[in-house]
Amino acid sequence: MSDKKIFTNNNGGPVVDDDNSKTASKQGPTLIEDYHLIEKLAHFDRERIPERVVHAVGSGAFGYFVLTNPEIKKYTRAKVFTELNKKTEVFVRFSTVAGSKGASDEVRDPRGFAVRFYTSEGNLDIVGNNTPVFFIRDAKKFPDFIHTQKPDPITNRNNPDAQWDFWSLTPESIHQVFILFSNRGTPYGFRHMNGYGTHTFSFINEKGDKVFIKYHFKTAQGIKNLTKEEQAIIPGKNPCFAAQDLYEAIERKEFPKWKLYIQVMTLEQVKNASFDPFDDTKVWPHGDYPLIEVGEMVLDRNPRNYFAEVEQAGFTPANIVPGIGFSYDKMLLGRLFAYSDTQRYRIGANYMQLSVNKPHGCPMFNYMADGHMTENEHIHKINYQPNSIDAYEFMKHDDTTLVVDEKFAPGYYSQDDDYYKQPAAFLEVLKKQGGTEYDDLVSNLANSLKLASKTSIERMLAHYEKVNAQFAEDVKKIINA
């Protein structure tokens, strides 16, 4: 066999000429029998898949996770969190939320922080953000919220009043809006920010005991945010600043690291909590529910093909493993359907067969073998269940079904819920940090809010009065300046 690299069609057949189309004569016309031309153009026409509705601008890297605290096994029997010092392969995708493909990755926006663990029991996805809370707490509001962040349907331009109109009518968003317009809303790349699972999940141990948990990834690189001056310049000067910073750090072997922690709440603590623990617009106070170290995550390999390994990556919080379950978090329960559904639309019904998405640490068997772009190598004698011809065994493990218990399973949220206590506490944290943190939040927020309508401004200031009267006055001064 020759060592020469022969240029071929996709079927492996050699191509004679990749520069000139076959024509009926020297001047044409072009012949449809030029299969290489047709294949090349047809592939080019389909090189782009529908972009993500949100999180379209992103970067990714591979690495590993190592458990450092074997005591976690008292909360869960998931092997990834019980086998001490075992390396588990991970893939992480960082992203902005609102921008379309080609937008800068250093704008004021929450950052997606999606982690996939390729465990020996299946893929575990933790699909969160760099903020511990979110804007809304019910998936029914999600399409409306995202519409306010996207171009106006008439002008095709961003509409500041749409954002502030929605936020002023959705007071549970105040906490996240404060975080967004603080300096945490413009992190310095992807390496210098924390990641959070955002939602409440459940852990189940060997005995079947259940607790509820929240995930926290703490950056070992230290928190670093862009200054106002940097944020005004960098997105225009280098729209891929965060992507470049991540890629080059890994190439230099300065591998980014994060420590994984969890917060734990027992069923009894849930029932006695002074707030709704399943409301993703709320944080769990660390003084009451301290962080417990789990392990360390290291990213040490850049993707070899961005499209194949980052663009085609499809995450979903529905990907869990034995020992981990869901909670009564309404946003989480809505995402269990929405994320998988959007990947089927964006990539195809068999998106989980792609290399970046399929399980790496264990085999995958079921009867879903057909459909567009299937790569399933398993040949079945039949394709139905139950059967006695080519059947698989079923492993009993934790039942993730949520028990309806009015003592700790909330129904519709009341209209007199406390929207203001935790945002007020966030302002106190900024003041204690000193420097310009508090003033920057006031300035960033006021300069954005003043672009909204008078009605939206008045509604928003009324909310801020209930958070902190002085803060409302500080914002009002800049708006009226």
Q: Where are the beta strands (DSSP E) in 53-183?
A: 58-67, 87-96, 111-119, 122-129
Q: How far apart are CA 177 and CA 99, in angstroms?
A: 17
Catalytic residue among 55, 175, 192, 463: 55
The answer to whether 156 is a known catalytic residue is no
SS3 333: helix
Closest C-alpha among 361, 301, 351, 464 to residue 119: 361
The answer to whether 55 is a known catalytic residue is yes
Give me the amino acid identity at 394: F
Catalytic residue among 123, 129, 159, 357: 129
**Alpha-carbon distances, residue 233 vs 117, 118, 314, 368 (angstroms):** 36, 39, 32, 50
Give me the amino acid identity at 232: A
Q: How far apart are CA 109 and CA 95, in angstroms?
A: 10
Q: How far apart are CA 263 and CA 292, in angstroms?
A: 6
Q: How far apart are CA 69 and CA 294, in angstroms?
A: 5
What number of other Cβ atoms are within 10 A of residue 391's Cβ? 10
Q: In residues, how long is the chain?
A: 481
Which residues are part of the catalytic machinery?
A: 55, 129
